[in-house]
Structures are given as structure tokens and as C-alpha cells.
Amino acid sequence: MPKIVDHDAYRNELLQKYFDDFAHRGYSDVTMREIAESLGVSTGTLYHYFPTKKSILENMLQLASRRDISGAIASIKEDTPLEDRIRAFSNYIMEKEQWFADIVMLTIDYYRQQNKEGGFEMVKEADSYYGNGVAEATGLSAELGFFFTIFFNGLVFHRLAFPDSISFHDQAELFIKVFMTYLRAEGMEKNLKNEGVDSGKK
């Protein structure tokens, strides 16, 4: 019998190990040799787990979007007011800002590969992470869930491009203030999927 290896587990391990470098350097600027070396395996072994370079990007994004949702949701405690939930999300993103920036960059790489001849389909399931996941975890409507996601993706992107330009914390707090003002003005009920959450505020 051959060496016993949990193929899938090892694949994920490799993906996570190289996630950061891959995103920062960019799909096209990273070489299979470098990836292999960095992971401490031979190129042959790398190809044993990933048939093509593309498949690494594909699997990375898939893995990321899954961990993404679960991680964010886990950071939210039950039975807390809406503002706290939103702030919890915001803090979660701030803490993992680099990681979210990685996802933004890999998404661009993915988009570009997708448009190539022989490219692959966009990972539809990643879309749920953008918006629906947020909505679910906060109790907001899907539209507002996307609103939230869009802003924070924009924030992550902006700070990636211009690190010295703005403060994450300040813009995030501004967002929360603006957002909460709107929700209160409009009346919470309309914007919440689940009645009773954070209501009754005079």
C-alpha cells in the first residue's frame, strides 16, 4: 500500500499556506516553482495535488469564501443589538483586513482568468459571501447586506491602494453612524428580516 495521505486535507493545507503570497504577488507573477519551494515540496508533488496553476487559484478562492462566511458569522454573538452586530462584523474585517484584501486581489485575478479562452466559471457561491451572508448574520435585508459588503470591500480596496490615505477605524465608524442613522430614520422594521431584533427603542 502507498504512503497514506489525506489527499483533500493536504490540499487545503497547501492552499492556506500559500494564500497570502499568491494574493500579494498575483496569479501571473507567482511561479509554480516558487510555490512548490515555498511549500517545501517538489513541483511534481505540487502537480500531484493541483493539475494546473489555474486550479490553485480556483481552489484558493473557494476555500477562502467558505472560511470567510463561517469566520465572520462565528464572530457575532446572539441576541445583541443590531449596531453591535454590525460593529462586530466591521471589527472582524478590520482585524482580518489583510486577508480580505487578499480576497479582493485574487478575485480580480480570477475574473481575468475567467475571461480568457479556456477560462473557468466564476465561483457563484462566493457571491453569497458578499451580501447574503452578511444579511443573514445581522438580520438585515439582502439589499442592505450588500450595501454593507460593498462599502467594506471598497474600504479594503482603498486602503490597499493608498495605505496612508484613510483610517479603517474612522471610516468604519462613520459608516456605522451613517448606516444607523438611516435605519433609525426609516424605521427598523422595514429593513430587518426578523422582527423583534433590536426593536422597541422608543
Partner DNA sequence: TATGAATGAGAATTCATTCAT
Partner DNA sequence: TATGAATGAATTCTCATTCAT
Tally the residues of the chain. 202
Which has the closest alpha carbon to 151: 67, 65, 86? 86
If binding is defined by CB under 8 A, does position 155 make contact with a second copy?
yes
* C-beta of 74 vs 178, nearer to a second copy: 178
Spell out the residues 6+ positions from residue 91 whose beta carbon is closer than 8 angstroms to its own.
75
Query: Smallest distance from the beta carbon of 69 to DNA, in angstroms?
Result: 29
Residue 65 touches which member of DNA, a second copy, none, C-beta under 5-8 Å by kind: none
Contact at 8 Å (CB) between 105 and 160?
Answer: yes
Give the separation between CA 34 and CA 17, rounded to whole angstroms: 13
Residue choice 150, 187, 194, 199 for contact with a second copy (CB under 8 A) = 150
Residue choice 82, 171, 192, 198 for contact with a second copy (CB under 8 A) = 171
| Phi and psi torsions of 192, nearest 5° | -110, 140
* C-beta of 74 vs 174, nearer to a second copy: 174
* C-beta of 45 vs 141, nearer to DNA: 45
**Which region, judged by CB under 8 A, interacts with a second copy, from 27-35, 67-75, 84-92, 192-200?**
27-35
Give the separation between CA 127 and CA 147, rounded to whole angstroms: 13
Contact at 8 Å (CB) between 94 and 168?
Answer: yes
Give the separation between CA 144 and CA 125, rounded to whole angstroms: 19
Residues of the shown chain interacting with DNA in the complex, contacts defined by CB under 7 A = 1-7, 10, 29-33, 41-45, 47-49, 51-54
Contact at 8 Å (CB) between 12 and 63?
Answer: yes
Residue 66 touches which member of a second copy, DNA, none, C-beta under 5-8 Å by kind: none
User: Which residues of the chain form contacts with a second copy (CB under 8 A)?
Assistant: 2, 24-29, 44, 104-105, 107-112, 115-116, 122, 126-127, 130-131, 143-144, 146-147, 149-155, 157-158, 160-162, 165-166, 170-171, 174-175, 177-179, 181-182, 185-186
